Structure 1
Amino acid sequence: MTAESDVAVVTGAARGLGAVIAARLHGHGLRVALADVDVEKAAEVARHLDPSRATARAFALDVRERASFHDLLAGVVAVWGGLHVVVNNAAGTQATPVMQISAEEFDSVVGVNLSGTFNACQILGAHLAERGYGRIVNIGSLAGQNGGTATGAHYAASKGGIHTLTKVFARELAASGVTVNAVAPGPLDLPVVHRLVPPERMESLIATIPVGRLGSPGFVAQVVALLASRDASSVTGACWDVNGGLYLR
């Protein structure tokens, strides 16, 4: 699907959907930089993909810090000579009722989710544009489309912002051979979802999903891999929905 020489960065790759995406891209033959603030956990995931570290490595990254992206880029280029794919997956949330969210908590969630995606698109996107080729895939959310606040109003607002940034950077980078797209999952069968939704509420949550099940992280990863492929040259600025029919447009 994608040239074997391609190099991908996946942010927030130490666990959850990020780890699944990293594994799927690696399975398609990409060399993968698993970037996370928890570099030890990311290294553990990377070792499962390739104990030799030839095709999968962990890199420290705090998406809130622009200097951290510059360090990441320098490290990836030093190891593999370049970068071709960026998956902005790093995210954080707290399921706090909207009227109880403090200014500090709001800034913290938006700083990771929205500012982190902006930093990556701007800094890593500039590198891709200079090389004349690249794929950026941003992980949005159903919450950013329908105003859902089950995972926090700050989370929903940041994901809505990511969908808009996707369009902005798609226009900015298109002439340089760089596509920018988003994937907007609904509730997924991931530990974070089971943590946020108590067992007594899970059945009623699933009952609200038209297809009657939580989404598959593996399928979301496959959508990311498709948008990251060299064949995906004619799609940019798009948001691909994977929500089980919860949001139709």
Structure 2
Amino acid sequence: MTATEGFRAPTTADGRELEGRVAVVTGGASGMGLATTYALARRGATVMVLDLADPGRTALASMLGVEEDRVRSVAVDVTDADRLQSAFASLLKERSRLDILVNAAGIAPPTPFEDITADEWNRVLAVNVHGTFLCCQLALPAMRSRRWGRIVNFSSTAGKTISTAGGAHYTTAKHGVLGLTRHLAKAYGPDGVTVNAVCPGLIDTPMARSVLPDGTLEQAASTFPIPRVGEPWEVAELVAFLACDRAAYITGAAIDINGGDLIA
């Protein structure tokens, strides 16, 4: 057998590799979620954005430069199980399928540990972990029925070490997201569903700017092997890859995108 025998060329990206796919992106109206909405829609997916801030379908399509029938948006708190169930049911009734779920919604208050109230602790875990759980539970039946699905959960470098910007509750939540990701990957891989996490470091988003004092973001990033702050579109490109056929053999992974911040 020669070195080239048995070689099968991979499917290459043609710019519309997600044509016909239907996606849900939580937190998809700003920051890395918005960049992800753009990346998926530009590759041909129809995307439903679930976000507390609802820009509206027309405004969202115009902002992203995509056809209006490529996107829709629903104002929803990801901790509201009834509202989520209604949004998912509406999408499935309209499109009859759900292929991709991206759980990007999150909050990261920088409250010192001794000042965290029980309510704030519960709220941070509810948005970052419970919201991810609820959306995965709602999405999986449709994916399993078609034996194809992609779930991408947003963790963080905080999920592998401790948070730079958020508090102890954020660190705890992002570790929890990684545990949930691995469990679902193991359980549903045989059904054709991959479940992965992305772990962004310091990314230039409104949330990061809101919790770090002026100049702190750039100062911290200047010590990285790639000495700059990351861009939301760079994270979105990784998410879009994990959502496509070319990533079919990747599951249960927690992929760093942090400029080398965690290199020992």
Q: TM-score, structure 1 length as denominator?
A: 0.93
Q: 2:213 aligns with which of 183, 198, 202?
A: 198
Identity %: 36
Structure 1, 90-99 or 201-210: larger mean CA deviation:
201-210
* Alpha-carbon distance change, 6 to 21 in structure 1, aligned in 2, over 3 angstroms: same
Q: Once the 2 structures are TM-superposed, how far is the Cα of residue 186 of structure 1 from its aligned partner?
A: 0.1
CA contact (8 A) 2:228 2:259 kept: yes
Q: Distance in 2 between matches of 1:41 and 1:199?
A: 31
1:88 to 2:103 alignment: yes
Q: Which residue of 1 aligns with 2:23?
A: 8
Counterpart amino acid of 2:163?
Answer: G
- Equivalent residue of 2:262, what SS? coil
- Equivalent residue of 2:247, what SS? coil
CA contact (8 A) 2:50 2:73 kept: yes
Please give the per-residue CA displacement for 1:30-68, whole angstroms capped at 9, x wherever unaligned.
Answer: 111111122246763244336763111112332112222
- Equivalent residue of 1:146, what SS? coil
CA contact (8 A) 1:8 1:86 kept: yes
Counterpart amino acid of 1:220?
Answer: V
* Alpha-carbon distance change, 203 to 229 in structure 1, aligned in 2, over 3 angstroms: closer
Q: Once the 2 structures are TM-superposed, how far is the Cα of residue 76 of structure 1 from its aligned partner?
A: 1.1
Q: 2:172 aligns with which of 121, 133, 157?
A: 157
Structure 1, 47-56 or 228-237: larger mean CA deviation:
47-56
Structure 1, 143-152 or 201-210: larger mean CA deviation:
201-210
Q: Once the 2 structures are TM-superposed, how far is the Cα of residue 177 of structure 1 from its aligned partner?
A: 0.6
Counterpart amino acid of 1:211?
Answer: I
1:111 to 2:126 alignment: yes
* Alpha-carbon distance change, 171 to 46 in structure 1, aligned in 2, over 3 angstroms: same
**Structure 2 residues without counterparts, runs of 5 or longer:** 1-12
CA contact (8 A) 2:18 2:40 kept: no
Q: Once the 2 structures are TM-superposed, how far is the Cα of residue 125 of structure 1 from its aligned partner?
A: 1.6
Please give the per-residue CA displacement for 1:142-165, whole angstroms capped at 9, x wherever unaligned.
Answer: 011112253111111101100110
Q: Distance in 2 between matches of 1:43 and 1:162?
A: 32
Q: Distance in 1 between matches of 2:45 and 2:231?
A: 22
Instruction: Calculate the aligned-residue CA RMSD, in Å.
Output: 1.8
